[in-house]
Structure 1
């Protein structure tokens, strides 16, 4: 067996199952799951109809490159969304089966397993980044999110000896779990580092369409603003899962540096990750429609307006820049660690939240997720409100003296 598999940690939700082992909440209260970031608004009917109208695609093997129609649709969407020239559909865009598998596969494409390189990751982070680094034969290096910097990563603290060995850097904006959005100056810093040391930037932007004010700045958009035509060493990842409430569709794309896309296509041809023509047709319909996305955003915004004032009376939490998460500090008000809080909340209130320490690693003397919880406001409004009210009531009962 591949010995690198032994280096992988359990996924956060496996840790959560172990944390909850032996607990049996009162079933009459009804379980409310605010722990998993799975969109639970209904999938739009027109996407369902597009699937059923193109079932003949199931009788053919799809091409890894995807259809010209899908790539052209994605290019047009990128141009509209980020006010940039449309990327070349033939060389700068590649459909993927959502963003998760692509984030993993890119590392296997660009890392030299004999090179003993470094993959720089934000901390807290999406665990796929770590697994991709380890199984690609590299070492992850974690840069802690700083609450004093709106949870930005301070890359000035990374030693030159680390940058010299870095082959790939993952960034997530809007971030999971903090919701922080990178600024143009932060992008400029990353691009300067990439130019100096030659590493590739993987920009995870799967939460880009869940925002409350101005649309978040994207990696390609930042590159164009800074005169980086051709997007050197930059690949962005996007998905319909959050934008269109279709996580089961497994539809996304990568876009950016044509040279990297060319090698990524070669890898994926062997990897067997071609998107069904049926899903491609539904994806074209989804990327071409913005009305359902605006309605989706409005629904999230209403939930935040209702939930945040209640939660702020109980724990330390602020409005995120974007995404559908609340990143709350719970120890100061309750005296409980994040794992203790999650376990007792489940036992007493039948509400699931995710301990922040499960989303981070001990790095530079701290785990930046410790004593925080991630709350995903993904359920329907009434269920989210009930969950928040139960959390607030739980805190009142356990408030630290």
Structure 2
């Protein structure tokens, strides 16, 4: 067996299952899960219809690069959404079977394991980044999020000797689990570091279309364009972005996303994926074209999340330290005032109120003397508003019972 597999940590949901062993939830209450970030809003009917209408495509082997129609559709969406100059859909866009698969595979294509490589990851983080680093033969280097910086990471704190070994930097903006969005200044600093040290930036932007203010989150390609990095000889050099329809269009089971950016990187990544077997099914491609071409359902989806967060966040603020995030569908709450650790809070809440939340320490690693997820919980507000409100009310009742 590949010895690198032994470096992998149990996935957070496996740790949660172990945490709940022996805990008997209150039988008088139906279970409500805020633990998994799986969109629960209905899939738009027109996407399902486009999928059904294209089932004859199952008789055709798909090409790894996807159809020209899908690549052009994705390029056009990026241009509209981020105000980008025209992209070359043939060289700067690559459809993938969901951002998760592509984020993992990308490290295998980029990393030179003979070079004592490091992969920089935010902390807390999406677990795929760490697994991708280990199985590519590299080591992850974690940069802790800081509540004082709106949960941003202080990349200036990374020592020069570390940057010299970095081959890949994973970013998530809007962040999972914090919802933090990188600013133009953040991007400018990161681009300068990439230029100086030659590492690749992989920007995970799958939460970009769920935001709570009037201004849409800044994207990496957008920041590069604003800073003049899209018009040089090698536009978007060492930069790729990953996005997905899962959250935007409520189709996590469709497994449809894309990678876009540096044409030289995508050429090599396409070669890797040709051998890996990452071609997207033709019916999925047809449904994806329909989804990327429509914004009305995205606006409706965003409105539902805004209403839900506006109703639930004030309730939880009565008992927890939690703020409305910049974007995404998670609340990242500090439970310290309850007197319980994040794991104790999650286990007792499950047993007493039959509500599942995810301990924040499961989403982070001990780094630089601390685990930035400790004493925090992640709550995914993915269910319908009524169910989310009921869960919030139970959490309030649970927290109030701790002080009696």
Q: TM-score range by the shorter chain?
A: over 0.9
Separation (CA, whole Å) in 2 of partners of 1:337 and 1:212: 29
Unmatched 5+ residue regions in structure 1?
Answer: none
Separation (CA, whole Å) in 1 of partners of 2:38 and 2:115: 36
**Could you tell me how far 1:182 is from its partner in structure 2?**
0.2
Describe how 1:130-145 pairs up with structure 2 within 5 A. Answer: 130-145=130-145
Separation (CA, whole Å) in 2 of partners of 1:112 and 1:232: 18
Residue of structure 1 equivalent to 2:10: 10
Separation (CA, whole Å) in 2 of partners of 1:64 and 1:266: 9
- Say if 1:78 and 1:86, in contact at 8 Å, map to a contact too: no
Residue of structure 2 equivalent to 1:391: 395
Describe how 1:332-343 pairs up with structure 2 within 5 A. Answer: 333-343=337-347
Residue of structure 1 equivalent to 2:304: 299
Describe how 1:239-250 pairs up with structure 2 within 5 A. Answer: 239-250=244-255
Q: In the alignment, does 2:325 pair up with 1:320?
A: yes
Separation (CA, whole Å) in 2 of partners of 1:167 and 1:395: 45
Give the secondary structure class of the aligned counterpart of 2:203: strand
Residue of structure 1 equivalent to 2:70: 70
- Structure 2-normalised TM-score? 0.98
Q: 1:350 aligned to 349, 354, 360, which one?
A: 354
**Could you tell me how far 1:24 is from its partner in structure 2?**
1.6
Separation (CA, whole Å) in 1 of partners of 2:225 and 2:344: 46
- Say if 2:103 and 2:242, in contact at 8 Å, map to a contact too: yes
Residue of structure 2 equivalent to 1:224: 225
**Could you tell me how far 1:112 is from its partner in structure 2?**
1.0
- Say if 2:212 and 2:325, in contact at 8 Å, map to a contact too: no
Separation (CA, whole Å) in 1 of partners of 2:106 and 2:178: 24
Separation (CA, whole Å) in 1 of partners of 2:188 and 2:126: 23
Q: 1:308 aligned to 301, 308, 313, which one?
A: 313
Describe how 1:245-260 pairs up with structure 2 within 5 A. Answer: 245-260=250-265
Post-superposition Cα deviations, 1:259-303, rounded to whole Å, max 9, x if no partner, equal: 000000000000001000000000000000000000000000000
Separation (CA, whole Å) in 2 of partners of 1:246 and 1:356: 26
Give the secondary structure class of the aligned counterpart of 1:28: coil
Residue of structure 2 equivalent to 1:265: 270
Describe how 1:32-71 pairs up with structure 2 within 5 A. Answer: 32-71=32-71
Aligned pairs, number:
399
Stretches (4+) displaced over 6 A: none
Post-superposition Cα deviations, 1:128-182, rounded to whole Å, max 9, x if no partner, equal: 0000000000010000000000000001110000000000000000000000000
Residue of structure 2 equivalent to 1:377: 381
- Structure 1-normalised TM-score? 0.99
Separation (CA, whole Å) in 2 of partners of 1:175 and 1:165: 25
Residue of structure 2 equivalent to 1:175: 175
Residue of structure 2 equivalent to 1:146: 146
Separation (CA, whole Å) in 1 of partners of 2:144 and 2:212: 25
Give the secondary structure class of the aligned counterpart of 1:142: strand
Separation (CA, whole Å) in 2 of partners of 1:330 and 1:55: 49
**Could you tell me how far 1:26 is from its partner in structure 2?**
2.2
Give the secondary structure class of the aligned counterpart of 1:27: coil
Separation (CA, whole Å) in 2 of partners of 1:12 and 1:390: 23
Post-superposition Cα deviations, 1:169-204, rounded to whole Å, max 9, x if no partner, equal: 000000000000000000000000000000000000
Residue of structure 1 equivalent to 2:216: 215
Give the secondary structure class of the aligned counterpart of 1:208: coil
Give the secondary structure class of the aligned counterpart of 2:119: strand
- Say if 2:121 and 2:130, in contact at 8 Å, map to a contact too: yes
**Could you tell me how far 1:212 is from its partner in structure 2?**
1.5
**Could you tell me how far 1:22 is from its partner in structure 2?**
1.1
Give the secondary structure class of the aligned counterpart of 2:28: helix
**Could you tell me how far 1:28 is from its partner in structure 2?**
3.0
Describe how 1:84-99 pairs up with structure 2 within 5 A. Answer: 84-99=84-99
Post-superposition Cα deviations, 1:60-111, rounded to whole Å, max 9, x if no partner, equal: 1100000000000000000000011131100000000010010000000000
- Say if 2:335 and 2:376, in contact at 8 Å, map to a contact too: yes
RMSD: 0.7
